[in-house]
């Protein structure tokens, strides 16, 4: 949310941005991008308290007008509503909601258990639903807001040995397109970002040789950096991007077209 002298445009310090799953590489990069604008940012986490504290410190050091942290299991309605109420009590009502919290799963479908399925679906897809539902009411009332959901290229094309992850991200894409139509007249845009391979801890299971082989598959010849994904999210939150809704943007270096 860049500053502007245009009449009626809100100052970045008045913009509240909530990023779920902000302890990870992409989530923390998103929070830091908005912090650099001087926005008020809230960093959600579930278990990684130390990682989110460090991310919050970085946000404060680079110019956020306010930094909050919030713990919740986004797969549980009661916890999401508690987080919403605690943020509201602190005077923090999101103008921008980034549904980034997610978990991955690798393995053959024949080996997937009911528990595996429930965890992936509940955090990725149900969490997106619960957070959107909890925070969109204020946006609708104000006739202004941005909901940005984190998907994946595998939600667009599917991936062998990542069937349930692909299914969850594909569900997020459909959710995004449908909710965008529902909220368009209310001035709330809903979009998704579907990154390709990004240099984060999610790829720590790959060897250096495997990472090199993966990079060679990508026309750009490299993996994305988290900050590049954060820039795509930031673009969707700009006032000038208000006419863009129901879209799935995929920064993937030409890997998937």
CA angle 183, 64, 223 (to 5 degrees): 75
225: Cα separation from own chain's centroid? 15
Number of Cβ within 10 Å of residue 10's Cβ equals 13
| Structure-block tokens of residue 183 | 């909220």
Active site residues: 165
Give whole-number Cα distances, 95 to 128, 198, 200, 238, in Å: 16, 27, 27, 11
Euclidean distance between CA atoms 44 and 201, whole angstroms: 18
- Coil, strand, or helix at residue 234? helix
Residues paired with 17 in a beta bridge: 41, 96
């Amino acid at each position: 949310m860049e500053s502007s002298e245009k009449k009626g445009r809100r100052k970045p310090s008045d913009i509240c941005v909530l990023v779920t799953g902000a302890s990870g590489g992409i989530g923390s990069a998103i929070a830091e991008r908005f912090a650099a604008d001087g926005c008020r940012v809230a960093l959600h986490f579930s278990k990684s308290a130390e990682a989110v504290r460090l991310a919050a410190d970085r946000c404060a050091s680079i110019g956020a007008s306010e930094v909050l942290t919030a713990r919740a299991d986004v797969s549980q309605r009661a916890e999401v509503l508690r987080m919403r109420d605690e943020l509201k009590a602190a005077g923090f009502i999101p103008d921008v909601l980034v549904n980034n919290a997610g978990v991955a799963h690798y393995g053959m479908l024949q080996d997937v258990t009911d528990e595996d399925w429930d965890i992936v679906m509940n955090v990725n897809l149900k969490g997106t639903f619960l957070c959107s539902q909890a925070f969109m009411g204020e946006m609708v009332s104000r006739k202004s807001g941005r909901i940005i959901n984190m998907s994946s290229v595998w939600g667009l094309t599917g991936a062998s040995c990542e069937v349930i992850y692909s299914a969850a991200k594909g569900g997020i894409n459909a959710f995004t397109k449908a909710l965008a139509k529902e909220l368009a007249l209310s001035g709330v845009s809903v979009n998704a970002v579907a990154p390709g391979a990004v240099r984060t801890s999610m790829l720590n299971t790959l060897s250096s040789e495997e990472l090199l082989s993966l990079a060679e598959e990508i026309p750009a010849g490299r993996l994305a950096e988290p900050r590049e994904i954060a820039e795509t999210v930031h673009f969707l939150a700009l006032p000038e991007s208000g006419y863009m809704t129901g879209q799935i943007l995929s920064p993937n270096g030409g890997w998937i077209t």
